[in-house]
Structures are given as C-alpha cells and as structure tokens.
Amino acid sequence: MPEISIGLPVYNGGQHLRLAIDLILKQSFSDFELIISDNASTDDTEQICREFASRDNRVKYFRQSENIGVANNFRFVFEQATAPLFKWMAHDDWIDADWLSVLVPVAKAKHAIIFGHLQMVTHDGQNMAHQANGRKMQYNGPAWWRRLAFAIEPANLGKANVIYGIFPRDAITQESLRTFSTYGAPGDVMMLTECLGRLPIVFGGPSRLFKRSPAPRPPGVMKERRASIFERTMLRQFLSIGPISFRIGYLLLYPLAIGRMKYGRKLRRLRAHLIGSSLT
C-alpha cells in the first residue's frame, strides 16, 4: 500500500496535463499512487494518460464512458484511493518537486489537513503577484473558531486552494463529498468548512502549489456580471451549513467579513508601509 494517493480528475486537459503528471512523477518522495479519471475527454487527454500509465506503474488510469460531471469525477478518484493519506490535484496546476517530501511527514504526524504555500501563475505559467502568494493558510483552535475564521476570510486570499492539500483519507466522509457536490462552484470552500468541524488545517512547510489563472477572455466576449458583496462573501452558503451556533456566530462576525473583503488590500498595504517606515 502506498503512503499517499493522489487523485487527478480531468476533462479535455491536454494542453497542461503533461506538465502536471510529469512533475508529480518526479517528486523526491516516490511512495504514492496517481489515480487519473478522464471524464470522457475529446482531446488528446486519453493518449497522454495512457502514455504515462504504460511506463510508470504508479499511474492508475480510468476513462469514463460518458461525462459524469465535475463533482462525481472528484468523488471517483477519491473512491479508488487505497492509501491512508489523500490529495486531489488539478490537471492544469503543478507542485514543487519536494511538495510530498515536505508535507507527507507532517500529515503522518498530525490528524489535520496539511497545506504548503500557494504561488499564483498566469494562464501561460508565469509567476504573478497576488495577495495569496506565500501565506500560511492555517486554521487551528476549537472547531467553532476555526470554522468561523475560515468563513470570514476573504476568498481572494486563496483559502479554496486548501482543497488541494493533504487529507487523512478517513477525514473525507460521505457528508464531505455530499457537501462538495451540493454547492456547485463553491463546493470546495463548503467542503473545507464541513471538514473543519472535525480537524484543523495546518501549514506543513514552504513547498509550493502553482495555481494557474484562467486565460483572458477573447475580444468581444461579454464580461460576466460582477458578483455582489453578499455573493463574494458567500453569505447564503455559510448560513446553510453547520450547527446553529456556527450560523449565529457567522452573522455576528459578518460585518468583519465585509470589511476584510472591501478594505483588506488597502489595510495590508498600509501595514506593509508602516512596517517599512519603522525599519528605515
């Protein structure tokens, strides 16, 4: 049995998939299985996956006969896992060569979700400045507090990316998977909120997950409607999950969530300026 299972759900990911798989297989920590579920892709995804599977027995490739949807594809790779630790991987992201060697020992020592650093990159893979880069995403303390701390943190600080951290496999329950599929696009954040009721999120070390940004919209394509502050803070979703004490706590702290969303960047710049001034 491997020490960790990595699940990679993919649909038409041929453009970036080869890099993602290659850098997983080149990890300095080698005791893992890579489970790929191809969601009935119509590009060269199948060819790429079969090529890797034919030359490395750690790669387990499954091809769906029809598209089963994003959430079910995430569920499928998890259900094939055999190791006590589990990690999801996006087909267009990549990780430092020491991601597993840095984070797996921490995951074995602590019953927690383990995450490293995040580095945002452009759609063509160039490092980009972003407020989420290099943050210690850590939510400790009692269950009620870590859930609230996670809920009121602005989404633009990268908290959703912890879904690509390392989980104890038994911490991902049927309720976790149901939450992931029920909430649609913010299912990752809501599943993490559900998991925080049982275990913390712990910073495991400075190894990086490189998160690719979407390609810019072609000229002439209409921009999406800007989400309201209530949508960006996910008010409706957070008021529909967890015990009543969490929902009341979130309502009481909601003005703080709005303030951090609207003014957080200005406050961080002011803090950096004040610290810089004090050092000169």
Domains of the chain with CATH codes: 1-91 (3.90.550.10)
Q: What is the mean pLDDT of residues 126-140?
A: 95
What is the reported pLDDT for 267? Answer: 58
CB contact set of 105 (below 8 Å; sequence gap of 6+): none
Name the band, by pLDDT with cuts 50, 70 and 90, for residue 230. Answer: confident
The strand pairing partners of 61, in sequence order, are 36
If one compares 260 and 196, the residue with the highest pLDDT of the two is: 196
Q: What is the mean pLDDT of residues 149-176?
A: 96
Tokens 């790429």: give the residue: 48
Q: What is the mean pLDDT of residues 221-226?
A: 62
Q: What is the mean pLDDT of residues 50-67?
A: 98
Work out the angle at residue 34's Cα, subtended by the Cα atoms of residues 157 and 139, and round it to the nearest 5 degrees: 30
Task: Compute CA distances 277 → 28, 164, 272, 273, whole Å.
Answer: 42, 37, 9, 6
Count of Cβ atoms closer than 10 Å to residue 244 Cβ: 7
Count of Cβ atoms closer than 10 Å to residue 213 Cβ: 15
The Cα 104–Cα 115 span in angstroms is 10
What is the reported pLDDT for 270? Answer: 55
Q: What is the mean pLDDT of residues 250-260?
A: 90
What is the reported pLDDT for 261? Answer: 80
- Model confidence at 1: pLDDT above 60: yes
- Model confidence at 264: pLDDT above 80: no
The Cα 169–Cα 152 span in angstroms is 27
3-state secondary structure of 222: coil
